[in-house]
Structure 1
Amino acid sequence: MTRQWLTGLMLAVLATALHAQPFSAPEQIVHAGKTYKLAYTASQPDGRALYEYTTDDESIENWSSLVTLNYAQSRVTVPLKWIESLKASLDRETPKPHYSLYIAGTNGFAKIIYEPDAKNPFYESDVHKSFHIKACDGLLVYQFARKYPQSADQSDAGKQAALKQVAEENHQFSSALEKSDWLPACH
């Protein structure tokens, strides 16, 4: 081996290490007894990355439940700042979703319910858990979402009953996520 070749190899390894993200997304995630497989990945030059997981061979365009990992490299923050930022974002949405935000331990949590509208004919229940781990060199948010069809009863009482059912399950999902021992793989 020549010295020039070794120098080139060391520079390539160093460049790869400098551009590597400290977070490694798994190929699959087990959530609530189901295996979710990585179905979609998107990354930005600014260090943001999105990983979406589906189960039961559902496509990313037509899912009934979804696990999403949102990673923002070099955006280390504390749970309160994450919650404040998420609240501001949710308050700008039209129509405004139903939501609850809280901190437990070292994580921020969000419980969000979107009602059906012209663009999205489903109820959507989302729960989020934020991770603020120094080894990850950034913010990682674990999100679980489930879609529900509209109630056949479109009266106000029917809509309230459907919303109540979604809210009850949303609370269960959030409690399970809070108790989950899943941690991001960071190096």
Structure 2
Amino acid sequence: MAGEQALPSTGSASERACEPVQPDTHDSILQRARDLFARQGYRGTSIRQLTSGLGLTPAALYYHFTGKEDVLAGVLAPMERDGETIIARMAQLEPTPEALREVLDRYFDLLARDIVAFRLVADDVDVQQSAVGQRLRAQARDLFAWLTGSAPEVEDRIRAAAAVGTIRLSLEQSGVEPDAHRDAIIGRALQIMTD
């Protein structure tokens, strides 16, 4: 209240510096959701599971999110923003070898930043059917359409699928370090597209 002075804190400055900092509840919920969705799937994760590991009540979650699909949208928001950036950039590019390299570089970065989020969209049917999943799948179709050109032949579609798959599987399954093997992975994807 006005006129009241704050109570002095207890302990020394060094003791107070060692006290745990309360993490941001919103971000904590998103991190917990990301982990549980990856392990159990979207459908297999309940609101109670999302909150119980954080010491929160479901009401606390609903303070930050409208529901589980809103939590999912929050988990996938960085990927969606990155995808929008790629799509906007593709619209400015003519399909040249340099532009192809740029688009594959950006796709690599999108996956390397959060392969777990990508797996959710690629592998979880419930996520695919959500509003954010539909938007991300539309972005993937736009990427594929740009890679294959305006009148793709079967061979063009196969090449694009193989190039995109090379990047995804290299990051997801091969156990290679993305930063250390970036040029090799993108180089192989480019080779597939241009052979």
TM-score scaled by structure 1?
0.33
* Structure ranking higher in helix proportion: 2
Q: Which protein has the larger Cα radius of gyration, Structure 1 or Structure 2? A: 2
